[in-house]
Amino acid sequence: MAELLNKLEARLMPIAGFFGRQRHFLAVRDGIVSAIPFTIIGSLFLVVAAPPFSADISTGIGFLDSFLMAWLNFAEANADYIMAPFHASMGIMSLFICIAAAYSLTKSYGKQPLSYVLPTVCIYIMIITPVKDGNILTAAMESQGILLAVFVALISVEIMRFVENRGWTIRMPKGVPPVVADSFSSLFPFAIAIIIMYGASLLCQFTTGKLIPDVFFSMFANVKAGVDNIYMMTLLIGLESFLFGFGVHPTTVVGAIINPISLMNTTANAELITKGMAATNIYTDPFFNFYIGIGGAGATLILCFLLLRSKSKQMKELGKIAIIPSIFNINEPLIFGLPIFLNPILIIPFTLVPMINTAVAWIATAVGLVAPAYINAPWTAPAPFAAILSTMDIRAGLLVLALMAIDGCIWYPFMKVYEKQLLLKEGEEENG
């Protein structure tokens, strides 16, 4: 087993290094991560604007019924005002991601960010605007435009960088302020990027009668359907966890595939709720944070509780240290302190448990045992409570507890095997 582990490490660490340094993957990651605060803010206002109950609700508790009806009446009377922050955050999510991805990629090249980011935003707006009526396709700024925004940002930055590196710029005299000089130096690269990108947009409109976003959405829908299902997601989550056990961070490889989908689905569900429709997408940010990663990567929260009852001094002390962070889904003390990292025994449940959680939670959501998530609670929130908040369904909290019970059954035998090894080592150290 140790020999196999060494071989895997030798092959995987170069991969980890590549993806950890690859600037385009990092730009995608930064773009997605930057949108998280906007989803949280938008979700908070959505909770107020869309109460998860109807006017005929009756709990039998007088003051609670009065509160719920007051909430409902307030939401109905002030819906436009309450939803304004939602539309200004989650409603233009793709635009924010476009800005962040362009900024990240530009910074990685050591270029002046504003000289690249602002033109990129302009190019993106031009691409999503039809020639004839000039009405911006606002759908391209919502959840479904996230990946398109990332692609436009990366391509636009690369075009402008190519032009600038060739020296095709306007150079101002030395006495000119840097801000003015930077503005003029970006003029020609910006013009070339516009000609190329807008030319592609016009060609698409004249040949297909559709905007690039419309063509992109239809193509991506087929790709998304092939990934966004219980089978592929379970496999990808397993691969993500397995690679993490070898030091490959989840956001660098598999995350580049599934994170945009989870953000798109979360935002899409929120948009459906605002329209009075039911949320339909299963795999969302909260689904991953509070069903798959209960306590952090590998769903290790239950492992902390098991460690507290361990006969090994090392395990028990680590359980005491790690329990509080794990409640808030931070488990690096466990991963590197136990360690799970490069541990041939513990990597197995570390990989298997998230896969089981994915499958069980997916089935539970698909058959209607719990509602799909549409509110993006902070990922550091304790899982049972955050799951309830994200779905506005108390059954989601019960599902988290059920998953923890299943996780404990899987983690326990592997923990005991590793415990025996540590006990032998501790006994040898005590005996001198």
| pLDDT tens-digit map of 324-342 | 999 999 888 888 888 887 7
- Start-end of H helices in 90-186: 93-108, 113-127, 146-165, 178-185
Q: Do the beta carbons of residue 241 and residue 297 sit within 8 Å?
A: yes
Question: Lowest-pLDDT range, 5-19, 165-179, 189-203?
Answer: 5-19
So what's the pLDDT on residue 368?
A: 94
Q: Mean pLDDT highest for which of 121-135, 231-245, 386-400?
A: 386-400
DSSP state of 376: -
CA distance 111 to 161: 8
Looking at residue 336, what is its pLDDT?
80
- The two three-digit tokens of residue 208, written as one number: 């297909």
Question: Residue 291 burial by CB count (10 A; 0-12/13-18/19+): exposed, middle or buried?
Answer: buried
Q: What predicted TM-score, i.e. pTM, was given to this entire model?
A: 0.80
Phi-psi region of 366 (alpha: psi -120 to 50; beta: other; left: phi over 0): alpha
48: which 2 tokens?
């107020």
Task: Answer with the residue of higher pLDDT: 50 or 372.
Answer: 372
Dihedral class, residue 296 (left if φ above 0, else alpha if ψ from -120 to 50, else beta): left
What integer is the mean pLDDT of 385-392? 92
Position 59 scores a pLDDT of 66
Residue 308 is predicted with a pLDDT of 92
pLDDT at 249 (0 to 100): 62
In sequence order, what E strands does 133-288 have? none
42-56, 272-286, 343-357, 408-422: segment of lowest average pLDDT: 42-56
Residue ranges per structural domain of the chain: 2-20+228-430, 35-222
Q: What is the pLDDT of residue 176?
A: 62
Phi, psi angles (nearest 5°) of residue 193: -65, -40
Mean pLDDT of the chain: 85
On the question of pLDDT at 23 being above 90, the answer is no
> Is-contact 318 333, C-beta < 8 A?
yes
Share of the chain above pLDDT 70, in %: 89
How confident is residue 303, by pLDDT bands cut at 50, 70 and 90? Answer: very high
pLDDT in tens, 339-354: 887 788 888 999 999 9
Of residues 226 and 17, more confidence is placed in 226
Q: How far does CA 288 lie from the centroid of its chain?
A: 8
How far is Cα 279 from Cα 275, in angstroms, rounded to an integer?
10
What pLDDT shows up at residue 134?
Answer: 67
Predicted confidence (pLDDT) at residue 12 exceeds the cutoff of 70: no
Are 9 and 246 in contact, with CB atoms under 8 Å apart?
yes
Segments of 171-301 assigned E as strands: none
